[in-house]
Amino acid sequence: MEKESSRRQQEIENQMYIARQKSLGDSDFYREMKEAEANRLKLTPEFLELKFIEAIADNTKIFFGDKVLFFLSSSLCLSP
């Protein structure tokens, strides 16, 4: 009788552990999917252009000359 009770208790604990792990896995999957969707919506050409301009603005070096303008305009797909 005690062995049967102990075995049944162990089965219940195992089922609880499996359910908890499945719940954690499902929540991680849902979070990753929502994060991927948000990143897909955020990575628009306008956002990437903004990040490109911010990266250039953070550069502390100053360059002079015509080739710099050509580099920037060709990188942004703009006409010089």
Q: What is the pLDDT along the chain (80 residues), one digit of tens a residue?
A: 888 899 999 999 999 999 999 999 999 999 999 999 998 888 888 888 898 888 888 876 666 666 665 555 555 554 44
Instruction: For CA atoms 57, 58, 62, 63, give the dihedral sign.
Output: negative
Give the pLDDT confidence score for residue 18 in this predicted structure. 97
Instruction: For CA atoms 54, 56, 59, 65, give the dihedral sign.
Output: negative
Length of the chain: 80
